[in-house]
Amino acid sequence: MNFALVPYTEIDGQMNFKNSRIKELFSRMQADHTDGVVYCHEYIKSPEEFLRYVRRSDVRLYFMFVDKEMVGWTILDRIEGRVAFGSFCYFSSFWGKETVWASRKIVETLFSIKDQNEVPLLDLLVGFVATWNKHAIMHLTACGWLSLGILPSAVWNPKEKKSEPAMCFYCERGGQ
């Protein structure tokens, strides 16, 4: 299988993916019922809000391709120094396939990105997973992420309109 992680970025004054394609990502999440599960932000309720969010300067969106088919996306946000929070979302057409392999490739690729001085941009990825999301907890564990434990009120549940406890996971460059 061939894997590619393509950043959503500006090239020559133009974004490399059209706005309609970005909005389609959120619509696919809604169709797969992963909105509010994978990405729990109370202020992202529509494709337009998702587009505004991923266009922020402190957010990095990457498209995941396996054998030239887009199978999902990953977002880095709350980037501070060489630490970033990460979220993965696979489309239902890819569920049950090589998601552990793909997630490991994502992390490997993100940790390989270097600045102009050849210094890695990231040393640590962090993620929160609602404690009821057993599938995601098992997935991150299978991918080699380590848990720091449960944090109270760490994620927002938009359907329940309340904060909920979450497992705090991390993955360190060189440690996967």
**CB proximity list for 91: less than 8 A, separation 6 or greater:** 28, 32, 70, 71, 72
108 versus 99: which is more confidently predicted?
A: 108
Instruction: Name the 3-class secondary structure at 26.
Output: helix
Q: Give the pLDDT band of residue 62 (cuts 50, 70, 90).
A: very high
- All domains of the chain, ordered by start, with CATH? 3-172 (3.40.630.30)
For residue 161, the one-letter residue type is K
Residue 36 confidence (pLDDT)? 60
Q: Which range, of 60-69, 86-95, 109-118, 132-141, averages the lowest pLDDT?
A: 86-95
- pLDDT over 90 for what percent of the chain? 55
Q: Is 19 a residue whose pLDDT tops 70?
A: yes
Q: Is the pTM of this model over 0.85?
A: yes
